[in-house]
Structure 1
Amino acid sequence: MKIDGFLLAMLAAVVLAFLAPRLGAEGGALHMAQVTEIGIALVFFLHGANLSPQSLKAGAANWRVHLAVQATTYILFPLIGFAIFFGLSSVLAYEVRLGVFFLCALSSTISSSVAMTSMARGNVPAAVFDASLSGIIGMAITPSLIAMVAAVSGKPFPILPAIGDVALTLLLPFAARKPIINRLDRGVIVLIVYTAFCESTASGLWWRYSPWVIAEIAAIAAILLAVVLGVTTALSRACGFPLADEVTTVFCGSKKSLANGAPIARILFAGNPAMGMIMLPIMLYHQLQLIVCSILARRYAARAAAAAR
Structure 2
Amino acid sequence: MSKLFKLKLDRFILALIAMIVLAYIYPHAIEIWNGKLISSLSTIGVALVFFFYGLKLSFSEIKDGMKNWKLHLSVQLFTFGLFPLLVLLFRPLVHTETQEQFWLSFYFLAALPSTVTSSVVMVSIAHGNMPAAIFNASISGLIGVAVTPLLMHFFLEVEEVNVFAELYIGLLFEVILPVILGLMMQKYWGNWAHKYSKHLTNFDKGVVLLIVYSSFSESFISDVFHTIGSTYLLGLFSAVVVLFFTSYFIIKFIVRYFLKFNREDRISALFCGSKKSLTHGSVFAKFLFANNPKMGLYFLPLMVYHAFQIFVVTIIAQRLGKEYEEQKEAEL
Would you call these one fold, judging by a TM-score over 0.5? yes
Partner of 2:323: 303
Is the contact made by 1:17 and 1:195 (CA closer than 8 Å) also made in structure 2? Answer: yes
Amino acid at match of 1:188: V
Equivalents in 2 of 1:221, 1:259: separation in Å?
18
Q: CA deviation at 1:103?
A: 0.3
Partner of 1:82: 88
Which of structure 1's runs of 4+ aligned residues deviate more than 4 A? 25-30, 47-50, 153-156
What do the CA deviations read for 1:55-95 (whole angstroms, capped 9, x no partner)?
21121111121121111011111112222344334495332
Partner of 1:135: 141
Q: 1:55 aligns with which of 54, 61, 64?
A: 61
Q: 2:126 aligns with which of 120, 128, 134?
A: 120
Is the contact made by 1:17 and 1:198 (CA closer than 8 Å) also made in structure 2? Answer: yes
- Kindly indicate whether residue 182 of structure 2 is the aligned counterpart of residue 162 of structure 1: no
What do the CA deviations read for 1:184-205 (whole angstroms, capped 9, x no partner)?
1111111110110000000011
Partner of 2:243: 224
Q: CA deviation at 1:34?
A: 2.5
Amino acid at match of 1:195: S
Q: Is the partner of 2:236 in helix, strand or coil?
A: helix
Partner of 1:282: 302
Equivalents in 2 of 1:187, 1:281: separation in Å?
20
Greater helix fraction, Structure 1 or Structure 2: 2
Is the contact made by 1:117 and 1:127 (CA closer than 8 Å) also made in structure 2? Answer: yes
Equivalents in 2 of 1:50, 1:213: separation in Å?
40
Q: CA deviation at 1:208?
A: 1.0
Partner of 1:240: 260
Partner of 1:193: 212
Q: CA deviation at 1:28?
A: 4.5
* Equivalent residue runs for 1:103-118 within 5 Å: 103-118=109-124
Q: 2:47 aligns with which of 34, 41, 46?
A: 41
Amino acid at match of 2:266: E
Query: Alignment RMSD, CA only?
Result: 2.4
Equivalents in 1 of 2:56, 2:230: separation in Å?
38
What do the CA deviations read for 1:6-57 (whole angstroms, capped 9, x no partner)?
1111111100111111112598479422322223223323456943212211
- Structure 1: tracts of 5 or more residues without a match: none
Q: CA deviation at 1:154?
A: 8.2
Query: Are the structure 2 counterparts of residues 167 and 220 from structure 1 closer, same or farther at C-alpha, using a change threshold of 3 Å?
Result: farther
| TM-score where L is the length of structure 2 | 0.85
Is the contact made by 1:25 and 1:202 (CA closer than 8 Å) also made in structure 2? Answer: no
The range that moved more, 104-113 or 59-68, is 59-68
Equivalents in 1 of 2:56, 2:318: separation in Å?
25
| TM-score where L is the length of structure 1 | 0.91
Q: Is the partner of 1:79 in helix, strand or coil?
A: helix
Matched length: 308
Q: CA deviation at 1:301?
A: 0.9
Partner of 2:313: 293
Q: Percent identity?
A: 33
Is the contact made by 1:39 and 1:188 (CA closer than 8 Å) also made in structure 2? Answer: yes
- Structure 2: tracts of 5 or more residues without a match: none
Query: Are the structure 2 counterparts of residues 237 and 128 from structure 1 closer, same or farther at C-alpha, using a change threshold of 3 Å?
Result: same
What do the CA deviations read for 1:140-183 (whole angstroms, capped 9, x no partner)?
110001111125x9866332442342244333134314634121
Partner of 2:17: 11
